[in-house]
Amino acid sequence: MKKNNFHFVRQINEISVLRIIRDKGPISRSQVAREMGLSKVIIGGIVARLLDTEIIYEVGKGDSTDRGGRRPILLEFNADAWYAIGVEIHLNHASILITNMNAETVAQKSITYKDNSNPENILRRIVRAIERMFEHESKMDRILGVGVALPGLVDYENGTLRYADSLKSWIGFPIQHYLEGLLDTRSYIENDVKTTTLGEFHWGAGVEADNLIYIWLGEGIGAGLVINGELYRGFTSSAGEIGYNEVGALDFNKENFPILHASQRRYGEILNNRYLERAIQQHLATNHVDSKLQGKKLDLALIAEYAVEGDKLASAALNEFGNLLGMLLIGMINFLNPEMIVLGGPVMDCCDTVLETALAKTREDELRMPAQEVQIVPGSLKNRAGMLGAVGLVLQDLFKPPIVNLSAYRSLFSVEN
């Protein structure tokens, strides 16, 4: 066997052993050998190498077999041996999460800034914050990688933003290369809705699903797709830009949507919290409506609160919003046939009735079976989903099943030539 091929097979075996110990530990060397179908001698060598990196450790002795003999030494995955970092960059603040290799929180912090026009300065501030978040400087050498979530279309080959509506000055800046230089570790960048999708898929509402759609509803609308356990980005990395989908003109009219209708063409123009607030304000100004919202500074929380209290205008507006969302969901269900749709973002966090109305609308679809079978649920991670998803960019590169990705694994070892 050629030397390079030998090292490749050895690394495949090592990461497979590591996965078994992580998922089934405490476990003995003999049990690992049986799981792998390899000899005890080979497994012994792999285990010795993993012990040297401290990514696994011995935790005591197990029970002897029915035939007696020496009690086996048990092995456990050491999730605290290395760290993953997730960063979510917004218009005027960034959220930072440090976890161990089980995505358990080690530290969390936010930094704010007024001027987002200088990505170099902001990234340097983020790195300084990360350095302060570690209790000991030596732990900086144990960073497995950093994942970064940003709004916009990502150029994965060059590690840059190809397009961004809110972070225009970041377009073309070498984010990935710059961070790797500052932190001396691997970095990954991804669209913010896609990272939020990963967060809900790996650790949130979608943890039991293999195929799901995540829809974020806030100042805009966007979606992330997971197909057969893999994040689907699309040919130009723009999969999930559902805000540009056009609304069916026959259903969306002034008669059916007297508050929200203003001759819009696309879902993104309507299904966002800012437009909802403006539409209600406009309705109050042009119609004689008895509503507690009159004269108030509107926001989602207030609209939701008054809807619960029975305010007719607040209830009607959220009902229209939910019905329009249901129309969008029907199209996605019939086109992609997912097993689950997860709804998240500020609208879902504030307005339970929007989910109830959207769910009822989807159940009215003529193609009953898929609409009845799909699970439509709220996200469970709230504002942590994006940061955890960014962490997931790092951890899935090491543990992504069923394909072994060696790129992150090799950073744990000095690979022989």
Q: What is the pLDDT of residues 169-212, one digit of tens each?
A: 999 999 999 999 999 999 999 999 999 999 999 999 999 999 99
Please, are residues 91 and 97 in contact by the beta-carbon 8 Å criterion? no
- pLDDT for the residue numbered 53: 84
| Assigned CATH for 3-77 | 1.10.10.10
Can you give the pLDDT at residue 4? 44
Q: What is the pLDDT of residue 3?
A: 42
State phi, psi for 150 to the nearest 5 degrees: -140, 150
Residues forming CATH 3.30.420.40 domain(s) in the chain: 82-200+385-412, 207-379
415 pLDDT band, cuts 50/70/90, is very low
pLDDT of residue 67: 61
What are the start and end residues of each CATH 1.10.10.10 domain in the chain?
3-77
* Residue 79 predicted with pLDDT over 50: yes
User: Does the pLDDT at position 21 exceed 80?
Assistant: yes
Angle at which helices 273-286 and 312-336 cross, to 10°: 140
Segment 271-298 shows an average pLDDT of 92
Could you say which architecture CATH assigns to the domain 82-200+385-412? 2-Layer Sandwich (3.30)
Residue-level pLDDT at 179: 95
The fold of the 207-379 domain, in CATH, is Nucleotidyltransferase; domain 5 (3.30.420)
Phi/psi for 107 (5° steps) reads -160, 155
**What pLDDT score does 33 carry?**
92
Q: Across the strands, what pairs with 222?
A: 216
Percentage of the chain with pLDDT > 70?
Answer: 90
Evaluate whether 86 touches 73 at the Cβ level (below 8 Å): no
Per-residue pLDDT at 249: 67
- Per-residue confidence at 166, pLDDT binned at 50, 70, 90? confident
Amino acid (1-letter code) at residue 185: T
pLDDT of residue 300: 93
